[in-house]
Structure 1
Amino acid sequence: MPNEAAKPRIAISACLMGVEVRFNGGHKQSPLCSRTLVDYFDFVPVCPEVAIGLGIPREPIRLVGDPDHPAAIGTVDHNLDVTQPLADYGQQMAGELDDICGYIFMQKSPSCGLERVKVYRPNGAPQDGGGRGIYAKAFCARHPDLPVEEDGRLNDPVLRENFLSRVFVYAAWQPLRRRGLTRRDLIDFHSRYKYLLMAHNPVQYKVLGTMLGDMSKADPNELGPRYFSALMAALKKCATRRTHTNVLQHLSGYLKRAIGSEDKQEVQHLIAQYRLGIVPLVVPLTLLKHHLRLHPDPYLAQQAYLQPHPENLSLRNAI
């Protein structure tokens, strides 16, 4: 279970925390971030446009040109080109914010949007598809394993649970990385996140198990970063009712000798109801955790899947 005493740090577009830094002098406060998540995370607000010297209020900028390599140009004064300053600031902050465990970006922003940001032709006509904000692209290039998400997508319960699960996994890895990895560290870490990985990505669950299966000659400080990159990429895939059901069945298997036939039937009934979409994930999980408290299993006791984030966030009540 995550250590709730030490809040993971998450960088966030400042406007989402209610800071009035938008081009029009306003904000885009996210109630989820500024009222709910703030109790569990230490937020670091950042506004790259203000940081590079653009005023409040200011002329809006937009992306123009090649969607893969657009320029950030003023909408009124086309000679205003802040592409390089935004990219440079992204590189700078990627170096300074080396202790964060996630980043929540402002969607559709020409500086901070992660995807589908409008890109215009030089004549002002919008192009099909979209691009990535200049600052966000530069920042993410330096932190490819970091959990990142846009504020709007966090309104989806599945995407929200996925992102915050990854934040806590990332936070758990950092102390190991900083002190230098041992083979035991890698085995213990993988063991702890085994069922979470199985729920998100059954294929990579097998691949990563094989990667660590024969590391007798490997340097853990060389293998560790490769393993962790593969793990974070695998966890980006959202778990489904089918994959969660598979994990629930594995967990229930540990109880087959410990509980009676009626209790077994109840567990199977609730797992089936979850699979069919009748009840949320929290229902069969709560019953399984109840039985595991009465019949503890040391291997399951360490499984992050059972509580990958603080219980009071209630993230599994809606999935």
Structure 2
Amino acid sequence: MDLAPLDPVVPRVAVSGCLLGEPVRYNAGHCRSRFLTQNLEPYVEWVSVCPEMEIGLGAPRPSLRLVGREGGDLRLVTRDGSADHTDAMVELADRRAAQLADLDGWVLKSRSPSCGPRGVTRHLENGNPADRRSRGVFAGRIMDALPATPVEEEGRLNDPVLREHFVERIFAQARLRALFEGGWKGRDLVAFHSAHKLQILAHDPARYRLLGRVVAAAGARPPDELRAEYTDLFAAAFAVRPKRGRHVNALQHVFGPMSERLDDARRHDITGIIDAYARGEVPLQVPMTLLRHHARGEDIAYLQAQTYFQPYPADLPIGA
């Protein structure tokens, strides 16, 4: 197959149903997320999950909590201690992880004793809160079973930096899934990697080098082995949130192939803008826009194909 890495993709993302406005909370209410349901929804395929409903608790229902000693197994019990739902929740999580292993990401309800990916309150046997360092039972099993899959909570998506990082990751995962779902060959992986090189470099230079070595040996390795190693490294690279210095490095790699085609005035403009970004005087979009303009103007196909310039749909209102 000849898969164009920039072909449109639709990420498949699991989401806690209450965040979509479904009345499945313990009080039969919901926690509808504006960003998820208005901004992101037109661009993704949601797979709604509600662990409590799926193990038959219904809504409304008695509220739940995590109970146990630090470092020990935590139990998911009703607030009054009359029922323990840990085993049912573990069995459901393991089953859903197997069923949904091909998803591109998860968005789960924050602080939930079932769904919270982090910062969930642990209680002592006497009912007193002990700390807020635990994961929900369902979320923890999912994250352990699917370590390469991006998992985020809706509360952190209110942070514009974390929000953009998560969106970038799920679209990268979706493009990789599209590649491997087809009848791909080594040359298709080479083309895919070539289009993502600068984006990967901005996230994780060390894994950028490792991925390059994997791709260089693409023709000499069994496809399943190649796919597994590339997938793990690719996901791990994108899990690293890029910082300003790494973006500067990637921008300079963009500038390199085009510099010889430009006159001194344009070269000076570009280096000046990159330096201004490095000092924090202009946002990243300023040097990105300038470099993309010159890549198009000089018809540099390699640069025009880079996902670094458009990691997700341009009209997705990421900052709203």
Percent identity, aligned pairs only, is 38
- The Cα of 1:67 is off from its aligned counterpart by 4.8
- The Cα of 1:118 is off from its aligned counterpart by 0.8
The equivalent of 2:294 in structure 1 is 291
Mapped contact 1:181–1:224 kept (Cα < 8 A) = no
Correspondence for 2:26 among 7, 13, 23? 23
Q: Secondary structure at the match of 2:258?
A: coil
| Unaligned ranges ≥5, structure 1 | none
Q: TM-score scaled by structure 1?
A: 0.92
Deviations 1:148-189 (A, max 9, x none): 111111122221121111111111122332345422133222
Q: What is the rounded CA distance, in whole Å, between the counterparts of 1:254 and 1:281 in structure 2?
A: 20
Correspondence for 2:53 among 50, 54, 79? 50
Q: Secondary structure at the match of 2:107?
A: strand
Q: Secondary structure at the match of 1:12?
A: strand
The equivalent of 1:38 in structure 2 is 41
The equivalent of 1:72 in structure 2 is 76
Q: What is the rounded CA distance, in whole Å, between the counterparts of 1:302 and 1:220 in structure 2?
A: 25
Q: What is the rounded CA distance, in whole Å, between the counterparts of 1:34 and 1:161 in structure 2?
A: 16
The equivalent of 2:258 in structure 1 is 255
RMSD: 1.9
Deviations 1:205-239 (A, max 9, x none): 11222233345532132122112111101211100
Q: What is the rounded CA distance, in whole Å, between the counterparts of 2:227 and 2:95 in structure 1?
A: 26
2:139 equivalent to 1:136: yes
Structure 1 176/2 Cα, relative in aligned 2: closer, same or farther at 3 Å? closer
* One-letter code aligned to 1:246: N
Deviations 1:37-65 (A, max 9, x none): 11211222211111111121111101111
Deviations 1:4-39 (A, max 9, x none): 4x5222111111111111112221111110111112
Q: Secondary structure at the match of 1:122?
A: coil
Mapped contact 1:14–1:47 kept (Cα < 8 A) = yes
The equivalent of 1:152 in structure 2 is 155
- The Cα of 1:120 is off from its aligned counterpart by 1.0
Q: What is the rounded CA distance, in whole Å, between the counterparts of 1:235 and 1:288 in structure 2?
A: 22
Q: TM-score scaled by structure 2?
A: 0.92
The equivalent of 1:87 in structure 2 is 90
Q: Secondary structure at the match of 1:278?
A: coil
| Unaligned ranges ≥5, structure 2 | none
Q: What is the rounded CA distance, in whole Å, between the counterparts of 1:67 and 1:19 in structure 2?
A: 34
- The Cα of 1:129 is off from its aligned counterpart by 4.8
* One-letter code aligned to 1:92: R
Mapped contact 2:258–2:300 kept (Cα < 8 A) = no
Q: Secondary structure at the match of 1:128?
A: strand
Q: What is the rounded CA distance, in whole Å, between the counterparts of 2:213 and 2:282 in structure 1?
A: 35
The equivalent of 1:115 in structure 2 is 118
Structure 1 97/304 Cα, relative in aligned 2: closer, same or farther at 3 Å? same
Mapped contact 2:292–2:304 kept (Cα < 8 A) = no
Q: What is the rounded CA distance, in whole Å, between the counterparts of 1:34 and 1:278 in structure 2?
A: 34
